[in-house]
Amino acid sequence: EAQVTQNPRYLITVTGKKLTVTCSQNMNHEYMSWYRQDPGLGLRQIYYSMNVEVTDKGDVPEGYKVSRKEKRNFPLILESPSPNQTSLYFCASRLQGGAGANVLTFGAGSRLTVL
């Protein structure tokens, strides 16, 4: 089944404890992206990647890091999480060109709470 898989789905952590949210897609998509969703704010892009070793900042990159060493994986790293990073996180992917570039496929979401 074509999908984007995120782990963990739920996580409670404490301020300052480094964590990584993994994201993997099996559709051979070039483009991958991370969003965070907060009540009343919709989805805001954190980082995106157009291909292996190509990443760039989105609208709210502060406090996050990403890497794209392989095409299928795009982990989101919080080096020193803070309570304002408590949110619902989505990983998404799509093709870079052609008709498939119009559809962004989302993972199921990862709900993160930072105490």
Pairing between strand 65-66 and 105-106?
unpaired
Q: Is residue 49 classed as helix, strand or coil in its secondary structure?
A: strand
User: In terms of CB distance, is 55 or 85 closer to other proteins?
Assistant: 55
Instruction: Tell me if 93 sits within 8 A of 29, measured CB to CB.
Output: yes
Per the document, the length of the chain is 115
What secondary structure letter does DSSP report for 51?
Answer: E
Q: Does 96 bind other proteins (CB under 8 A)?
A: yes
Out of 11, 19, 50, 77, name the contact with other proteins by CB under 8 A: 50
Q: Does 28 bind other proteins (CB under 8 A)?
A: no
Q: Does 98 bind other proteins (CB under 8 A)?
A: no
Q: Is residue 83 classed as helix, strand or coil in its secondary structure?
A: helix
Instruction: Give the total of residues touching other proteins (CB under 8 A).
Output: 26
Q: Please report, as ranges, the residues that interact with other proteins according to CB under 8 A.
A: 31, 33, 35, 40-45, 48, 50, 58, 88, 90, 92, 96-97, 101-106, 108-109, 111
